[in-house]
Amino acid sequence: MHIGIYENHDKLTNKLFPFIFHYHKLNGYNSLYPHWHKNIELLLCVDGHGKAIVAGKTYEWHPGDIIAVNPDEIHMFSTDDTIEYYCIIATYDFCIENGIDLSTTSFIHLTNDTYAGKLFKNAVSDFTSDEIDITKTRIDVLLFLYELYKNHSEQNEIKEDNFNEIANVIQYIYDNYNKNITLDDAAKVAGLSKHYFTKKFKKVTGTTFVLFLNRVRCNNAAEMISNGMAIGDASYACGFNDPAFFSRMFKKLLDKNPSSVKKSRL
């Protein structure tokens, strides 16, 4: 089962400590499904390697690399081996209240900067201490955010409000990926003409509707195969009617063959 694609971060109710912190390890052929949220997400790779896909752009992710995910950017992380990273999520309101205007500025997605990395690790030390000092943690997170804001950010382009319609379609894809979904169906869900929907979907996600749909199908098929389902059965269960096309698409989108996923569990 895939995780929810919109995260509302309902645990972030303490205005004095508006953060979520966690350490995460992804092992071979695992991935986190595309999702988004209003709050800022900052991640530091500490070991291994993988890929970060943020707003339709793919970045190779190595130790020392910092990934920044801006509000409402669809993102996911994956690896064919192992990757370990720390994650700090800070609320949108915390940033705005401290002079970091995320409505006009976006953090650059991938940064490898020694000083920024040091500031991130200072905040990690705060979060992992036996007794958390709230004031010190707030200061260290802000110092890191200010460093990114000053040296690793860019002005937002003026954008039309096109997110909600596409978010509805993405949810529709997750609920119906095993069915025969067409471009016409998706455009109707969005309430747009097929031509306009195609342009808006590409602008928001960075990829086409068909490729996004097939990525969701391949991700689910990979999970089924890794859990023991036969490759052919997994392909049909995820909406593919042609095994040869499924194999080609799987290799193109996940950079591995279905058979390699099956072998990895042996």
3 state DSSP class of 26: strand
> Hey, what are 41's tokens?
């997400």
Q: Given the DSSP bridges, would you call strands 75-79 and 30-35 parallel, antiparallel or unpaired? A: antiparallel
Q: Which of 147, 142, 76 is nearest to 115 (CA)?
A: 147
pLDDT at 190: 92
Mean local confidence (pLDDT), 34-59: 91
> Hey, what are 211's tokens?
């490729």
Q: Which of 10, 63, 60 is nearest to 39 (CA)?
A: 10
Q: Check residue 19 and report its DSSP letter.
A: E
Report how far residue 172's alpha carbon sits from residue 243's, in angstroms, rounded to the nearest whole number.
24
Per-residue pLDDT reduced to its tens digit, 228-254: 999 999 999 999 999 999 999 999 888
pLDDT at 109: 96
Per-residue pLDDT reduced to its tens digit, 112-133: 999 999 999 999 999 999 999 9
Domains present along the chain, CATH in parentheses: 19-155 (2.60.120.810), 163-264 (1.10.10.60)
pLDDT at 2: 42
> Hey, what are 225's tokens?
């195969």
Per-residue pLDDT reduced to its tens digit, 90-107: 999 999 999 999 888 999
Per-residue pLDDT reduced to its tens digit, 150-181: 999 998 865 555 677 888 898 899 899 999 99
- Would you place residue 186 in the very low, low, confident or very high pLDDT band (cuts 50, 70, 90)? very high
Sheet holding 40-48, edge to edge: 19-26, 83-90, 40-48, 66-69, 110-111
**Which amino acid, residue 224?**
M
Sheet holding 30-35, edge to edge: 30-35, 75-79, 50-54, 57-61
Q: Please report the sign of the dihedral spanned by the C-alpha atoms of residue 112, residue 115, residue 117, residue 119.
A: negative
> Hey, what are 264's tokens?
């990895």
Bridge partners of residue 86, in order along the sequence: 23, 44
Reported as half-sphere exposure (CB side, CA atoms, 13 A), residue 85 has a value of 28
Percent over 70 (pLDDT), the chain: 92
Report how far residue 31's alpha carbon sits from residue 26's, in angstroms, rounded to the nearest whole number.
7
Q: What is the mean pLDDT of the chain?
A: 89
75-79, 132-136, 182-186: the lowest-pLDDT one:
75-79
Which residues, other chains included, contact 204 with Cβ-Cβ below 8 Å and sequence gap of 6+? 74, 162, 163, 166
Tokens 């039309």: give the residue. Answer: 160
Report how far residue 98's alpha carbon sits from residue 89's, in angstroms, rounded to the nearest whole number.
15
